[in-house]
Structure 1
């Protein structure tokens, strides 16, 4: 199968499940807080529901993908994204909002592992890393589109989520037509394909720990960065509106993770992404001027997508017998870290303020530099 055709289906679906259904929450949070009277702690709890739903969904995806098929899971992911966002659009309070965020969050966990399996099955070996990382870059496309829509719709977040729902349905149809059914329907072989060795798990502990740490450190940025900008009087309204678009457009650079890791090596790629990710939060915490905000947004957008692309390659190379598990494990742990990061970020920000919170989370992210892929991975 032509990998470009698969990318054309996968990239926009990831844009829907990650950019629209999951990370758009941080963009519209200032409007949600004003409209539904939500304080930072409650906002952090609601955000953590999305990450928790992701954790549960990605486990279910890895457990049942061999039974229901990767194509079916992708289609279910599109349905949950549309359902969750439609509920968000009619939310009248924190509880309804939380339910919508929870259901929408399921779509992210259901969408990532299946694409890795589809790529393994239908794409040539030498093109798989780039196909995986480009589909993963759909997050940045969804983030940028979210920012554009909010600019035009101003604070009408209900209409925004209704439009997201419509786009989710359209992209679901595209995937229904493009994603092929699995080649192998032998249930015995499918069950064996889920197996990973104890040696692989033991050797993957640096990947496990780094994914958790990076999840914790990145959660605050996705949830509270734009809310911080609204509270800084010296930041122009135009920049606040463009902030999410800058993050998204910069994230397109993350699609080159597969290319760069094959050229300069996985370890240098990993270290560069971790340094830039931590620096993006540090800039928001230390400086509150236009230049620092722009640089921070570029650094975060490019490094987050680049970092997740590196984790995909690291995971798949670590678990060669099961590519979906290799992709799912770091993403599961990244999301688990984001559950704690969102909860902690909301509480910490109320105690020491947003700026100091971002400094703390930046320092946390730098801890991930002590972990590294083994040689040959």
Structure 2
């Protein structure tokens, strides 16, 4: 088990793992999920329609999309420290803006900045760990970094629930999130000093080499995953609140249950590697998309049932955390010579679906209702599951 060194100073393993854990807990927790978590309160305070909510969520995911592109350029130019710190600064500023927002435009700007942080600060940790951690410990370090996502989402949901039950304003809740983000920013600034000025590989790599025929199924599944997962995190809490909430919890915070279960069950993403070995990658991908379909169907049909909500959120959490890892496995097979750039291309496909999904879903809900929106999302996930074929999961056609 890795430990501190003889001088009592944290080893690179622990330093980078702790920094990454804190960064993903903030950027993929309250910064990325906070809008959906607090949407019932936002709709009440700012008089937001369901269609406007979809547009704001899509704006935030556009920030995520842009963050991915800028992060790659920053990492290539100056190493991983700059994009990670920049992302956490955006998270701190965005969350702070939301906490103090006097109007809908300021709220939207805060959401844009906060959600862009996830695009900036995730993929550079692969480079930081690759440079700073010995090879045998890298998988463990990356797993610890990814675990921050599940715990960050669970903590955000729990904080929202407890504070609302105690009568604490949602603004104070976001202010506390901003303080946590600032502390994460400071910690990463210090922990990543050794990674500054260590740019990635300088050899030219044109994006078009990633877009070959064998990669089309992966990008297609990533696009569908982006739509289905973001529709859920954007609107599930509001769906529960508008339906009357679950028994025993105040209506306006009953959606917090979604994010608590989502994050807690999502920790099962740590066993994705074992699941892939046991089931094979094609079957694992099908099961995950079917889990997403069932999750959306349950939130559409039984949004006031404890069992329905817990199962729905748990399935969605498992789907999101495991699917991210499963797509990384698939990407590694296709792009063994440039894994970081290849997986970024996959994330861009996911981000494209994430941008288009909420705004389209908001329009559907405005015209036909939330039930139709979630059942349509479930149908898309089921069709994607049925479309996956074993022959799609191939090795790179450009070895070496």
Residue 90 in structure 1 maps to residue 100 in structure 2: yes
Q: Is the 8 A contact 2:95 2:114 kept in 1?
A: yes
State which of 378, 392, 395 in structure 2 corresponds to 1:362: 378
Q: Is the 8 A contact 2:292 2:316 kept in 1?
A: yes
DSSP-derived class of the 1:23 partner? helix
Rounded Cα–Cα distance in structure 1 between residues aligned with 2:19 and 2:115: 20
| Structure 2 match to 1:138 | 148
Give structure 2 stretches of 5+ with no counterpart: 1-10
| Structure 2 match to 1:351 | 367
Within 5 Å, which residues of 2 pair with 1:249-288? 249-288=264-303
Q: Residue 66 and residue 267 in structure 1: after superposition, are their counterparts in 2 closer, same or farther (change >3 A)?
A: same
| Structure 2 match to 1:298 | 314
* C-alpha displacement of 1:194: 4.7
Equivalenced residue count is 375
Rounded Cα–Cα distance in structure 2 between residues aligned with 1:322 and 1:181: 24
| Structure 2 match to 1:371 | 388
Q: For 1:16-56, what per-residue CA distance to the aligned partner results, in whole angstroms no more than 9, with x for missing partners?
A: 11111111110101001101111111111111111001111
* C-alpha displacement of 1:250: 0.9
Give structure 1 stretches of 5+ with no counterpart: none
* C-alpha displacement of 1:119: 2.9
DSSP-derived class of the 1:38 partner? coil
Q: For 1:158-213, what per-residue CA distance to the aligned partner results, in whole angstroms no more than 9, with x for missing partners?
A: 1111111110111122222333634985x7x7321655672674422111111101
| Structure 2 match to 1:321 | 337
Q: Residue 107 and residue 184 in structure 1: after superposition, are their counterparts in 2 closer, same or farther (change >3 A)?
A: closer
> What's the TM-score once normalised by structure 1's chain length?
0.91
Q: Residue 374 and residue 323 in structure 1: after superposition, are their counterparts in 2 closer, same or farther (change >3 A)?
A: same
What stretches of structure 1 move > 6 A for 4+ residues in a row? none
Which one is further off, 296-305 or 59-68?
59-68
Residue 31 in structure 1 maps to residue 41 in structure 2: yes
Q: For 1:222-241, what per-residue CA distance to the aligned partner results, in whole angstroms no more than 9, with x for missing partners?
A: 01101111122362252544
> What's the TM-score once normalised by structure 2's chain length?
0.86
Cα RMSD (Å): 2.4
DSSP-derived class of the 1:191 partner? coil
Greater CA radius of gyration, 1 or 2? 2
* C-alpha displacement of 1:300: 0.8
Residue 243 in structure 1 maps to residue 258 in structure 2: yes
Rounded Cα–Cα distance in structure 2 between residues aligned with 1:286 and 1:35: 27
| Structure 2 match to 1:209 | 220
Rounded Cα–Cα distance in structure 2 between residues aligned with 1:117 and 1:368: 32
Within 5 Å, which residues of 2 pair with 1:329-344? 329-344=345-360
* C-alpha displacement of 1:72: 1.5
Q: Is the 8 A contact 1:51 1:339 kept in 2?
A: yes
Rounded Cα–Cα distance in structure 2 between residues aligned with 1:359 and 1:87: 34
Which one is further off, 308-317 or 224-233?
308-317
Q: Is the 8 A contact 1:133 1:312 kept in 2?
A: no
